[in-house]
Structure 1
Amino acid sequence: MRRSQGWLAPDWRRTVLALVFAGAGIALTLMSVWLAWNVLNAPWPAALAAARLNIVGGALYAVLGLIGVVLTGLSMTVALRQVSARFMGADFSASGGDDPQ
């Protein structure tokens, strides 16, 4: 089989995907630092302090969850070539890499 001219080579695609995941991880980390800075250093009116802490805490949970997704995707993009799982009798297996041609 011939590769389509519109797609990048697998190594190049992996590199681009790794860079995208790394950029997303950096952006999410900077957002979490900004949220933490707001908790520690921003002026808080006493009447709104509890509500704002609740909102910032929820946002930090979301950012941390997304950082976990980014780290998992980055590790799979760079390190793993084969993934398999078994759950309640169902099997799943996927492998990637270069074509032998």
Structure 2
Amino acid sequence: MKFSEVTVATVKDYAKIDYDDDDILLQAILDGAKSHIRAYTGLDNLALDEREDTSIALMVLANDMYGNRMATDVSNGKINLVLDRILGSYSVNLL
């Protein structure tokens, strides 16, 4: 499956979600996950489509974003790694 072909239905299948209540949220998560992967890698959809494992990375990231919706990890008090990586991709004030 190509990166650009991953849909909400694909993510739901991957995450074993069998209800439609969160489809709007999942679409926002999928859009955000795609955007983050493009920003993080510097690749566009065409280049990401050429790499077979990027669709898996997208589903893993979207599933994590869906399942872990907290800014900090309760077990250790550290910032959520996905959140840190997303914000770090755009940070312009790194020292």
Pick the structure with more strand per residue.
1
| TM value normalised by structure 2 | 0.28
- Quick check: which has more Rg, 1 or 2? 1
